[in-house]
Structure 1
Amino acid sequence: MVAEALTPERILEATEDVLRRYGLGKATVVDVARALGVSHGSVYRHFRTKAALREAVTQRWLDRTSERLAPVADGSGPAEDRLDRWLKGLFEAKRHKAGDDPELFATYSVLTGDLSAVVERHIGDLVGQLARIIEDGRREGVFAKELIGGNADTARAIFHATARFHDPAYAAEWSRPGTDEDFTAVRTLILRGLRS
């Protein structure tokens, strides 16, 4: 590959492969460049520092979840059904990330701990999606108007109430027996609590 064909997206793809192969502690920008067949200077033309590259690859990884859930948040249909599908979708997305690619999941768990601004943006995106569904439910008359605070406050409370099913700190619990039943109970409680 020639340097002119190099794009940020290709660099991020190669970075994921390198992180998966070597892990966070051993992966270097030189390894990424080698995987792409370019000099490390070519990578630095797109990402000025190793930290910038790590931030971009982490943001890309987190954005996949937001992008997967956006059609549910912004779609049509009853808000109560969309909220239930959104909560299920978030749990499934996180569960798949942890189970399908455990090496990369472990790497990103470390990276997200170091990149709190990236994580806060991601949480803000997810809470924003929830808030839109709640707003639709209130407009439909399905969700109570007198919920705690505004839509964003209610959304943030739901996000925190379901943390056990999407926060990477709980990943070890996601495959344990009874977890799906626990998740159903929490979703049912939330949906009943929102009804007008």
Structure 2
Amino acid sequence: MPRRPERSPHSAPPADDRVEARLIAIAAEHIRRFGPDRVTVVAVAREAGMSHANVYRFFPSKAGLVEAVVVAWTRSVELALGDIASAPDPADDKLERFLTVWSRAHREALDRDPAIYSAFAGFWEQRRDSIAAHRARVRSFLTAILDEGSEPGPFRIRDEDRAAAFVADAMQRFVHPALVMETRDLARAQLDQRLAVMTRMIVRTLGSGGV
């Protein structure tokens, strides 16, 4: 198969990319207004000024369209976390900031876009490949910070995989969608206080060689 020509980062995206982005944006707004279950390909196509058959050129089904909206949100989270992981700060400072941003991204999505976050939670439970890929990328950023902070850095890590699993387990209440949705009525100040305690505990445990 011939390779598509590379384009300059400053050039406009191809027409198909622009159409796809517009369909995702329209679908996101329909999810906010009606919920993921009531979104229809026909309504999205009508607002985009095209036939529903044309929408199926980009997405295999309504579920695929909703999933693309969810993936767009997960990529925004990954971008923020990736920037933290590649920053030049000390690893312990980066880890604390990483965990804070990771948690707040979930709570803010629940507060700002509850319907989209609900769709994310549904795909999480279905074990969709896109969500597994998102979790793997977040895990890779976390592992990079742990690796950077290993001796002679601030962390005394005996087993990197075990340390990453420890951090992920400790953060479940703040990043597992089902548990995040359970805390919907918890005041943000109270949630932030719990998060601060947990991040300090995680950093101290890694620094003391506890895992």
Task: Please indicate the TM-score interval, normalised by the length of the shorter structure.
Answer: 0.7 to 0.9
Deviation at 1:95, TM superposition (A): 1.1
Deviation at 1:189, TM superposition (A): 1.1
Q: Deviations over 1:63-113 (max 9, x none)?
A: 211111111011111000000000000111111101112233223322433
Count of residue pairs the alignment pairs up? 190
Matching of residue 168 in structure 1 with residue 177 in structure 2: yes
Residue 25 (structure 1) aligns with: 37
The answer as to whether partners of 2:36 and 2:66 remain within 8 angstroms in 1 is no
Matching of residue 84 in structure 1 with residue 96 in structure 2: yes
Cα pair distance change 1:104/1:57, threshold 3 Å: closer
TM-score, structure 2 normalization: 0.81
Residue 196 (structure 2) aligns with: 184
What is the rounded CA distance, in whole Å, between the counterparts of 2:67 and 2:36 in structure 1?
A: 13
Residue 141 (structure 2) aligns with: 129
TM-score, structure 1 normalization: 0.87
What is the rounded CA distance, in whole Å, between the counterparts of 1:184 and 1:174 in structure 2?
A: 18
The one-letter code sitting in structure 1 at the alignment partner of 2:179 is Y
The runs of 5 or more residues in structure 2 that have no matched partner are: 1-14
Equivalent positions of 1:20-99 (< 5 A) are 20-99=32-111
- Alignment root-mean-square deviation, CA: 2.0
What is the rounded CA distance, in whole Å, between the counterparts of 2:95 and 2:72 in structure 1?
A: 24
Cα pair distance change 1:42/1:115, threshold 3 Å: farther
What is the rounded CA distance, in whole Å, between the counterparts of 2:204 and 2:185 in structure 1?
A: 26
The runs of 5 or more residues in structure 1 that have no matched partner are: none
Q: Hey, which of these two has a bigger chunk of helix by percent?
A: 1
Cα pair distance change 1:174/1:18, threshold 3 Å: closer
SS in 2 for 1:46: coil
